[in-house]
């Protein structure tokens, strides 16, 4: 119990202290006109207050990610608390802040374009493809589950449920951000917070106490902590999907100082939500063995439903249904909206179109493959989301590191977590079943080779920029 409380406090204190350090290193200037005003178009570029923007950002980046991922991560035991706290403060929140603020600085640019600015056009080309694949996979994975639950709870068939969800997706992707997302997301964001806080209080009254932090691996399946825990718990620690979502809100900030509250703050809130659900998973079923049995019977959704109903009664049951149906849908819709924005930015050089026509035309190419993927097994989709997600996060951290390095700023706040995530993703893809599925030892050797290669590239960048005296920051 003490470890859990200290972990929550560490995130809260970390927000008030470390976020200001990161903000100071980035160097905000509230005299700059933000894209919300300089490019106001009534669609994506629309000024919005920081409280509403923070709630929308939280729902964009969270959904069921910090719930399902944290529950699966709870199988490893309380070592998950360490990863959530350190990952959230020093990697995830920094990642989210720079993905948002670099977009603000460069006129609301999307993630792949930012990557191109600081890592080159070849990396941009690759990340354009990976980003679109990630968002389509996320949207598909977070659509199939809710549609199945709607089928169970209502007279609607699975196909009819999917159709209704996709009608909403299209509307969310093409309507002005303040017409639909801006009105309902703050409400659903509060639902997510109330759900987590309610479970958090219930933890103090469970039959089993929350275990204290230990480095011991308690996973019943004897699955190694490194690097699997860092991919299992992404939302709540660090998630590359966030870098595709932050530019949505970057186009709405009224001033640069709002970025710390919107981007860094939403990530810390997500980290606290992940801590609560990880603790609930470790505690409610009496330990990792009991949790594994519950997951085998009803999956993560079943675990959420059982914990919510048992601890909070009918109110918990309502929250669970809202959570399992609504929250993943609100992740899927902004994934498609962001995909549409990336495609518009990518293809704008080939010609100018009417804004409304361009919006509709760029929505179709992402909606169709997403719908087709919903016909596949959810678990199959989710396996590929994990690794793709963390590759995108790693690239974003390197993008931020190069921005700081080129501008003679303290780049270590980004380059150290970038190196760490390089090691994670480099070793994971060789070991994971959805990757090369090699032995653990061989995977660690291959991952080390990738890490050393990237480290050598970074040392070269350090030497090259050491002799550059003029900052290279080309702000829009």
Domain ranges of the chain: 2-385
Is 476's pLDDT higher than 50?
no
Type and span of the H or E element at 50? helix 50-61
Q: What is the distance between the alpha carbons of residues 204 and 212, in angstroms, rounded to a whole number?
A: 14
Segment 334-374, tens digit of pLDDT: 777 887 777 777 766 655 554 555 555 556 666 777 777 77
Q: What is the pLDDT of residues 220-239, one digit of tens each?
A: 988 999 999 999 999 899 99
Which DSSP state fits 287? Answer: S
- The pTM of the full predicted model, rounded to 2 decimals, is 0.89
Question: Given this model, what pLDDT does residue 444 score?
Answer: 97
Measured between alpha carbons, how far apart are the two ends of the chain, in Å? 48
Residue 183, judged by CB atoms within 10 A of its CB (0-12, 13-18, 19+), counts as exposed
Lowest-confidence region among 57-71, 195-209, 327-341: 327-341
Stretch among 17-26, 95-104, 285-294, 372-381 having the lowest mean pLDDT: 372-381
- Closest by Cα among 304, 76, 13 to 211: 76
Is CATH 3.40.50 the classification given to domain 2-385?
no
Q: How far is CA 472 from CA 38, 256, 384, in A?
A: 22, 20, 36
Over 90: is that where the pLDDT of 44 sits?
Answer: no
């Amino acid at each position: 119990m003490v470890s859990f409380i200290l972990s929550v406090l560490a995130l809260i204190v970390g927000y008030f202290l470390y976020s200001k350090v990161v903000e100071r290193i980035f160097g905000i200037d509230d005299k700059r006109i933000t894209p919300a005003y300089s490019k106001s178009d009534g669609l994506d570029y629309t000024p919005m207050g920081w409280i509403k923007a923070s709630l929308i950002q939280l729902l964009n980046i969270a959904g069921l990610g910090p719930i399902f991922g944290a529950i699966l991560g709870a199988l490893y035991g309380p070592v998950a608390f360490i990863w959530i706290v350190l990952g959230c403060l020093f990697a995830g929140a920094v990642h989210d802040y720079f993905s948002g603020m670099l977009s603000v600085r460069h006129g609301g640019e999307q993630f792949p374009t930012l990557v191109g600015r600081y890592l080159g056009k070849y990396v941009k080309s690759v990340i354009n493809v990976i980003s679109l694949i990630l968002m389509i996979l996320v949207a598909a994975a977070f659509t199939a589950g809710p549609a199945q639950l709607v089928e169970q709870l209502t007279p609607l068939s699975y196909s009819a449920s999917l159709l209704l969800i996709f009608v909403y997706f299209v509307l969310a992707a093409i309507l002005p951000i303040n017409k639909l997302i801006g009105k309902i997301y703050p409400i659903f964001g509060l639902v997510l917070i109330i759900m987590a806080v309610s479970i958090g209080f219930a933890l103090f009254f469970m039959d089993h106490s929350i275990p204290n932090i230990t480095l011991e691996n308690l996973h019943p399946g004897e699955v190694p902590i490194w690097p699997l825990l860092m991919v299992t718990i992404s939302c709540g620690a660090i998630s590359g999907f966030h870098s595709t979502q932050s530019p949505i809100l970057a186009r709405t900030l009224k001033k640069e100082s709002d970025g710390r509250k919107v981007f860094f703050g939403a990530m810390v809130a997500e980290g606290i939500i992940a801590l609560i659900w990880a603790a609930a998973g470790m505690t409610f079923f009496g330990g990792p063995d009991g949790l594994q049995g519950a997951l085998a019977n009803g999956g993560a959704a079943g675990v959420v439903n059982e914990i919510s109903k048992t601890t909070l009664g009918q109110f918990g049951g309502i929250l669970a249904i809202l959570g399992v149906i609504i929250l993943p849908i609100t992740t899927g819709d902004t994934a498609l909206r962001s995909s549409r924005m990336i495609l518009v930015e990518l293809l704008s050089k080939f010609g100018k179109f009417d804004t409304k026509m361009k919006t509709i035309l760029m929505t179709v190419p992402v909606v169709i493959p997403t719908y087709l993927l919903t016909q596949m097994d959810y678990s199959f989709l989710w396996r590929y989301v994990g690794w793709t997600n963390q590759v995108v996060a790693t690239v974003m951290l390197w993008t931020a590191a190069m921005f700081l390095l080129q501008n003679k700023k303290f780049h270590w706040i980004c380059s150290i977590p970038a190196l760490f995530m390089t090691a994670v993703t480099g070793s994971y893809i060789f070991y994971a079943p959805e990757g090369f599925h090699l032995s653990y030892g061989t995977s660690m050797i291959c991952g080390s080779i990738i890490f050393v290669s990237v480290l050598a590239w970074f040392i070269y960048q350090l030497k090259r920029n050491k002799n550059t005296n003029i900052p290279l920051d080309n702000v829009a």
